[in-house]
């Protein structure tokens, strides 16, 4: 267990193991995403109330779920880097932010596009959309703070503190936005509960959620590999990597 | 398959524009999520390779000769 | 000379911050002036209709108070960071947790409490019914304390940066949202004649949570900023 933990902290080991993981994970992810999208687009019946526009759910919900989980991954990595001073956790935290922000962006944009045929307007200040918007701001705040520091070591620590503060706040923000919305909810807008979703629609949704998790892992690992190279560019093992037989140029 | 032909698939009973726009945009962002880090890593490898060649040409030339 | 015990040390720190603030009365008056000026902007932007203004007043007053607190939170640690006092504080034997609370407490006393005291006046100017004024005062008193604590985290994170001004608002505005929601809703409930105790109780709960947790974050952030 501890040797595994120590290995995780070693840049060359992480670089090479993530390379071999990605070799299989990336094609698998793309395949799963394609299957899920085709399944959702072509092989499911339309929703009896929303018609075909509900098919956006197969990207909207997975992106939102993974974007939220991504914040927790980022904050956990930040906590690990603060507590154990693990460089790789610091890199993981830094690389989570853009990926999470992109997924939050997907869920916001698809939600807005879905809103037009369903509610007749591009944007509704609904509890979930508002919470996702706040999540996007939290991600962008972490990225802005990282960019503002010249000393990248301090930047990583500061972002770790900020993301932990954000993690404590996310449940509070979500609960208060929920409460705020229930207070102002206009009677004309009704939501179909996701718990009542039919099984034939649920399975492609679950597949898409799993593939978005895999997508998050792929993009995170790829970003981490680039960041490792950037930080270790003077290290001996990077030079060896270039001169080695399997040089990846 | 739910749809009868390609036209009904594209139209989706009038919701086609929304559904395809949402999927298209997401495809774009997903592609960027995968391509940008890959390109950054390739660029870094090229840069580091250049640095190595510039900083110690004798060793590099020896290795090329060998 | 032995080091003073932590409570006495904190009181002295608080006193020092207050004295420093009182020596620059302009610094204390600025947030209040900002409050007054932005209140004057709303009738110009929305039109002078008293009914319309009274309807928006709870939200308007709360947002302005929030911005006023945000604008000044940048300065909580700034001057003491620049002259090295913060570095001394990190080395002091007293727990940083309580010293940091003294800084934030001083900020709350010179902005939050004053804003809460002045708010009934601006509430009347915007046509807020008199029954809602106690709720406005109480919610601002509790809420600005949370804002000062959360703002202190942002201030400690950005204190080492040259251009922290806009950045701090990006970092902490999302964290302000729950306070805004419950604060303005307390005032709105009072206007409509509903009890305001639930909202105030939630603001109090947020304050307790913020008092317990945010000094840890502020202390950690100050250490990082000093190291950088």
Kindly report, residue by residue over A171-224, the tens digit of the pLDDT. 998 888 888 887 765 544 444 444 456 777 788 899 999 999 999 999 999 999
Q: Do A169 and C178 touch (CB under 8 A)?
A: yes
| Chain A residues touching C228 at Cβ < 8 A | 149, 151, 153-154, 158
Q: A92-106, A118-132, C22-36, C133-147: which has the minimum mean pLDDT? A: A118-132
- Cα(B32)–Cα(B34) distance, rounded to whole angstroms? 5
pLDDT of C127 higher than 70: yes
Q: What number is the average pLDDT over the span C190-209?
A: 93
Q: Do C173 and A137 touch (CB under 8 A)?
A: yes
Q: What number is the average pLDDT over the span A130-136?
A: 92
Chains touching chain A through at least 3 C-beta pairs below 8 angstroms are B, C
Residue to mutate among B1, B15, B34, B65, with most A CBs inside 10 A, is B15
Q: Count of CB contacts below 8 A, A vs B?
A: 107
C188-202 exposure pattern, b = at least 16 Cβ within 10 A, e = fewer: bbbbeeeebeebbeb
Those of residues 144-173 in C touching chain A at CB distance below 8 A are 153, 157-158, 160-161, 163-164, 167, 170-171, 173
| C34 confidence band (pLDDT: 50, 70, 90) | very high
Q: What number is the average pLDDT over the span A151-179?
A: 91
pLDDT of C187 higher than 60: yes
Q: What number is the average pLDDT over the span C80-101?
A: 89
Q: A70-79, A193-202, B26-35, C37-46: which has the minimum mean pLDDT? A: A193-202
How many Cβ atoms from other residues are within 10 Å of residue A16's Cβ? 15
Report pLDDT for A40. Answer: 85
Mean pLDDT in chain A?
85
Check residue C108 and report its DSSP letter. I
| Chain B residues touching A233 at Cβ < 8 A | 44, 47-48, 51
Q: What's this model's pTM, rounded to 2 decimal places?
A: 0.88
Q: Do A158 and C224 touch (CB under 8 A)?
A: yes
Q: How many residues does chain B have?
A: 66
| Chain A residues touching C160 at Cβ < 8 A | 149, 154
Residue A157 at interface with chain C, using a CB cutoff of 8 Å? yes
A32 near A211, Cβ under 8 Å? yes
Residue A165 at interface with chain C, using a CB cutoff of 8 Å? yes
Report pLDDT for B48. Answer: 87
| C149 confidence band (pLDDT: 50, 70, 90) | very high
Report pLDDT for B57. Answer: 60
If one compares C2 and A190, the residue with the highest pLDDT of the two is C2
Q: What number is the average pLDDT over the span A16-21?
A: 90
């Amino acid at each position: 267990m501890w040797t595994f933990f120590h290995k995780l902290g070693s840049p060359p080991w992480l670089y090479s193991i993530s390379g071999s993981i990605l070799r299989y994970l990336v094609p698998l992810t793309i395949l799963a995403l394609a299957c899920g999208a085709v399944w959702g687009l072509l092989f499911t019946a339309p929703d009896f109330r929303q018609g075909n526009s509900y098919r956006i759910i197969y990207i909207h919900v997975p992106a939102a779920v993974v974007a939220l989980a991504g914040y927790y991954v980022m904050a956990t990595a930040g906590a690990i880097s603060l507590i154990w001073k693990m460089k790789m956790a610091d890199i993981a935290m830094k690389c989570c932010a853009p990926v999470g922000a992109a997924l939050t962006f997907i869920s916001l944009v698809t939600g807005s596009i879905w809103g037009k045929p369903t509610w007749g307007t591009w944007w509704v200040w609904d509890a979930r959309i508002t919470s996702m918007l706040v999540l996007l701001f939290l991600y962008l705040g972490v990225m802005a703070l990282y960019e503002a520091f010249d000393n990248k070591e301090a930047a990583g620590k500061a972002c770790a503190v900020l993301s932990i503060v954000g993690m404590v706040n996310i449940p509070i923000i979500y609960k208060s936005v929920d409460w705020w919305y229930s207070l102002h909810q206009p009677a004309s807008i009704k939501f179909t509960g996701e718990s009542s979703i039919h099984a034939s629609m649920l399975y492609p949704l679950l597949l898409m959620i799993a593939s978005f998790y895999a997508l998050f892992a792929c993009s995170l690992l790829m970003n981490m590999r680039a960041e490792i190279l950037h930080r270790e560019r003077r290290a001996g093992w990077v030079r060896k990597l270039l001169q080695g037989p399997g040089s990846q140029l | 398959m739910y749809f009868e032909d390609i036209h009904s698939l594209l139209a989706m009973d009038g919701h086609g524009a929304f559904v395809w726009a949402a999927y298209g945009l997401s495809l774009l962002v997903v592609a960027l999520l995968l391509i940008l880090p890959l390109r950054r890593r390739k660029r870094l490898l090229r840069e580091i390779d250049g640095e190595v060649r510039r900083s110690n040409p004798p060793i590099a030339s020896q290795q090329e000769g060998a | 000379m032995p080091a003073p015990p932590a409570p006495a040390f904190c009181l002295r720190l608080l006193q020092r911050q207050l004295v420093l603030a009182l020596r620059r009365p302009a610094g204390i008056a600025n947030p209040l002036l900002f409050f007054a000026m932005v209140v004057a902007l709303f009738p110009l932007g929305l039109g002078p209709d008293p009914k319309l203004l009274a309807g928006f007043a709870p939200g308007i007053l709360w947002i302005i108070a929030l911005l006023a607190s945000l604008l000044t939170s940048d300065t909580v640690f700034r001057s003491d960071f620049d002259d090295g006092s913060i570095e001394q504080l990190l080395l002091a034997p007293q727990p940083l947790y309580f010293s940091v609370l003294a800084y934030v407490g001083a900020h709350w006393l010179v902005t939050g409490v004053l804003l809460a005291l002045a708010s009934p006046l601006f509430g009347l100017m915007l046509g807020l019914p008199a029954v809602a004024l106690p709720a406005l005062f109480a919610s601002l008193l509790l809420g600005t304390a949370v804002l000062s604590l959360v703002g202190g985290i942002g201030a400690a994170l950005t204190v080492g940066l040259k251009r922290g001004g806009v950045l701090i608002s990006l970092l902490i505005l999302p964290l302000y949202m729950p306070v805004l929601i419950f604060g303005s809703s307390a005032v709105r409930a009072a206007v409509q004649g509903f009890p305001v105790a639930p909202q105030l109780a939630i603001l109090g709960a947020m304050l307790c949570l913020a008092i317990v947790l945010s000094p840890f974050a502020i202390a950690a952030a100050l250490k990082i900023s000093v190291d950088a």
